[in-house]
Amino acid sequence: MTRYRDFHRRSIDNPEAFWRDEAQRIHWHTPFGTVLDRSKPPFARWFVGGRTNLCHNAVDRHLAERAQQNALIYVSTETGIERHYTYAELHAEINRMAAVMRSLGVKRGDVVLIYLPMIPEALFAMLACARLGAIHSVVFGGFAAPNLAARIDDAKPALIVTADAGARGGKVIDYTPLVDEALARAAHKTPHVLLIDRQLAPERLNAPYLVAYEPLREQFFNAHVPCEWLESNEPSYVLYTSGTTGKPKGVQRDVGGYAVALAASMEYIFQGKPGDTMFTASDVGWVVGHSYIVYAPLIAGLTTVMYEGTPIRPDGGIWWRLVEQHKINIMFTAPTALRVLKKQDPALLKAADLSSLRTLFLAGEPLDEPTAEWITNALSKPVIDNYWQTETGWPMLAIPRGIEDLPNKLGSPGVPSVGYNLTIRDELTGEPCAVGEKGVLTLDYPLPPGCMSTVWGDDRRFVSTYWSSVPNQQVYSTFDWGVQDENGYVTILGRTDDVINVAGHRLGTREIEEALSSHAAVAEVAVVGVNDPVKGQAAMAFVVLRSAQPEGDPSERARLEAELAMTVDRQLGSIARPARVVMVSMLPKTRSGKLLRRAIAALAEGREPGELPTIEDPAALQQVRDALGDGGKN
Ligand code: PRX
């Protein structure tokens, strides 16, 4: 363990020296002066004065050596389309997209909101923004119109890039009606909407505000748009994520620090070398997609595989066949996908030649031991769990096999990555916990390069949300519980706040509650996460109706439940839809009126809630028990 320990220690004791060396991994148009500006904690500015560009580092820089190497392999099992783009072709496509954006008035510092399914143009658009010095804000294609509207109003984009439709599991989802509704709801008036026409939903193409991409692409076919050299700390993107309040937070990322951190992570954690092929099965709407579909593999000169579709269509062997066909070396997905694949015919995995595959990485939610054991045995390759957040941009915990080949510990995502000064702290005193003692996982100042610079447009919220929740210490809270063993391995023990994790998607229970409350029949609602064998967690809603419960009439109750589920679909998107809606006549609360969510969750999982600080009316607990026991009919 000594090599890792020494390495990590140096990154903490002397971050300036450590990251000055790491910064050599990328191209700087103008060298930086100060490595780390600590003048305004908890803000940290990395590589001050250095000028660089993410698109240059991801694409242009490789043209001299790997212009003819594939940069992007795109596979859609939804449309049957497969396309390959060399670095030279990718460069040309990004230039076209950048020229189109520029012709629509997009300039350095403007926000471009990208609401796209998994198509190559999503990656082109992100990198075109980087090229122009525009700030992209990718909104996950599964989000509904009100959600999109809230992000439009917060990000105030100069341009929205969208498509006619997305597709999942063979179902086409029209995007333009959602964009239409979002634009009508938003107070901010977005000047242009650029439409990528996939010809999946042709009847929607005439909406008056849309500018079609294809004719403009033709017009700018031979365009060359120079890279804007940005100061290292200018924003590269904003990515919204859920927290405790209903208002999503825009996680703002810098340019130079992000590029350096990703490049370092590709060596120390992912062990990706130039020419390797990496398949990250996630979505560009999530941070895993930003970092490990788009930026990191390209910065490191790899071929990235972008996939539209589910892991089980046309059958459960599709991902393994992709590994064989494209000689994939590194694969990265979320445990949920593996829990789905575990249920498939094992012959599908065995039939594929997986000899190219070196390592499988998993992140986004807890990796349960049975799934970890199954996949490790089935692949006979290292399976590396890694723990991080939208906020950090790259793994906080992993097995840094590029530094030292430390053993895996079942149930733990590993040890702190370089640069992360991680401490488990007592939630009441803020003091470090002893080995083996449960506490809140925190990071000491400064966060390493690549982590969020602030909350978009709200520095105060950055400080008050992330740096003010641990008593007596100004440290960053992850809002995760954890415990560390004597060798430094950390085990994650769930969230300290009201965020739940459904199939690797981070959802705020407060957002779902707000969506349900908007229904006229709802008086009060509590949403909790309960264990789910495939999705890790599922949302369960406990609803108190305004009028008496429609007890006697099961069909009326079923109708109302379906309507409530639809309300969530319309407000947030189907990923947030509660798995079950349970009607109760009162909710358990403390005497001060705070919902006892943990007690409700315990009951929903068939556990007793244990000692409660105060309770307004103990009969409410019995209510929940009774409603749950109702043979699942609720
Ligand atoms: O609770 C932790 C859980 O997912 C949260 C972050 O989600 P998100 O912002 O979507 O970023 C995902 C980046 C991979 C964390 O606060 N989480 C993430 N990875 C793990 C995890 N929980 C347990 N084990 C993990 N490996």
Q: Residue 191: is the preceding peptide bond cis (ω within 30°)?
A: no
pLDDT value at residue 4:
98
- Of the chain, the percentage scoring pLDDT greater than 90 comes to 89
| 206: confidence class by pLDDT, cuts 50, 70, 90 | low
In Å, how far are 85, 376, 488, 566 from 383, measured between CA atoms?
A: 29, 6, 19, 38
Check if 60 has its Cβ closer than 6 Å to any atom of ligand 1: no
Check if 289 has its Cβ closer than 6 Å to any atom of ligand 1: no
* Three-state secondary structure string covering 422-483: EEEECCCCCCECCCCCCEEEEECCCCCCCCCCEECCCHHHHHHHHCCCCCCCCCEEEEEEEE
Check if 242 has its Cβ closer than 6 Å to any atom of ligand 1: no
pLDDT value at residue 610:
84
315 CA distance to ligand 1 middle (Å): 28
Ligand 1 atom 13: residue of nearest CA: 389
What topology is assigned to 506-628 in CATH?
Answer: GMP Synthetase; Chain A, domain 3 (3.30.300)
| 374 contacts: CB under 8 Å, gap ≥ 6 | 338, 342
- Of the chain, the percentage scoring pLDDT greater than 70 comes to 97
Average pLDDT, the chain: 95
571 CA distance to ligand 1 middle (Å): 24
User: What would the pLDDT profile of 554-613 be if each residue is shown by its tens digit?
Assistant: 888 889 999 999 999 999 999 899 999 999 999 999 888 888 998 999 999 999 888 887
Check if 597 has its Cβ closer than 6 Å to any atom of ligand 1: no
Ligand 1 atom 3: residue of nearest CA: 365
Cα 565 from Cα 545, distance rounded (Å): 15
pLDDT value at residue 550:
55
462 CA distance to ligand 1 middle (Å): 19
Map residue 316 onto helix, strand or coil.
coil
Best mutation site among 388, 441, 478, 496 for ligand 1, i.e. most ligand atoms within 8 A of its Cβ? Answer: 388
506-628 has the same fold as 2-309+386-480 = no
CB 511 within 8 Å of CB 482: no
Cα 266 from Cα 236, distance rounded (Å): 20
396 CA distance to ligand 1 middle (Å): 10
In degrees and rounded to multiples of 5, residue 78 shows phi and psi of -80, -40
User: What would the pLDDT profile of 461-481 be if each residue is shown by its tens digit?
Assistant: 999 999 999 999 999 999 999
- Average pLDDT on 443-463 reads 98
395 CA distance to ligand 1 middle (Å): 9
Q: Which of 511, 537, 541 is nearest to 525 (CA)?
A: 541
| Architecture category of domain 2-309+386-480 in CATH | 3-Layer(aba) Sandwich (3.40)
226 CA distance to ligand 1 middle (Å): 37
pLDDT value at residue 632:
44
Check if 480 has its Cβ closer than 6 Å to any atom of ligand 1: yes
Check if 175 has its Cβ closer than 6 Å to any atom of ligand 1: no
User: What would the pLDDT profile of 142-155 be if each residue is shown by its tens digit?
Assistant: 899 999 999 999 99
- Average pLDDT on 387-408 reads 98
pLDDT value at residue 88:
98
pLDDT value at residue 243:
77
Best mutation site among 282, 290, 389 for ligand 1, i.e. most ligand atoms within 8 A of its Cβ? Answer: 389
363 CA distance to ligand 1 middle (Å): 7
Domain positions in the chain? 2-309+386-480, 506-628
| Ligand 1: nearest atom to the Cα of 395 | 14
555 CA distance to ligand 1 middle (Å): 39
Check if 282 has its Cβ closer than 6 Å to any atom of ligand 1: no
492 CA distance to ligand 1 middle (Å): 9
Check if 477 has its Cβ closer than 6 Å to any atom of ligand 1: no
In degrees and rounded to multiples of 5, residue 317 shows phi and psi of -100, 0
Q: Which of 369, 322, 316 is nearest to 345 (CA)?
A: 316
Sign for the CA dihedral angle at 328, 333, 337, 343 comes to positive
Following CA atoms 399, 404, 405, 407 in sequence, which dihedral angle do they give, to the nearest 10 degrees? -60
Sign for the CA dihedral angle at 121, 127, 131, 132 comes to positive
User: What would the pLDDT profile of 241-250 be if each residue is shown by its tens digit?
Assistant: 987 776 889 9
Ligand 1 atom 10: residue of nearest CA: 506
- Average pLDDT on 425-444 reads 97
Check if 537 has its Cβ closer than 6 Å to any atom of ligand 1: no
Check if 413 has its Cβ closer than 6 Å to any atom of ligand 1: yes
Strand-by-strand arrangement of the 135-138 sheet: 210-212, 192-196, 159-163, 111-115, 135-138, 237-241, 249-253, 454-455
129 CA distance to ligand 1 middle (Å): 27
- Average pLDDT on 364-371 reads 95
Q: Which of 355, 308, 316, 359 is nearest to 339 (CA)?
A: 316
Ligand 1 atom 26: residue of nearest CA: 387
User: What would the pLDDT profile of 68-116 be if each residue is shown by its tens digit?
Assistant: 999 999 999 999 999 999 999 999 999 999 999 999 999 999 999 999 9
Check if 43 has its Cβ closer than 6 Å to any atom of ligand 1: no
pLDDT value at residue 631:
46
pLDDT value at residue 630:
61
Best mutation site among 480, 489, 497, 498 for ligand 1, i.e. most ligand atoms within 8 A of its Cβ? Answer: 480
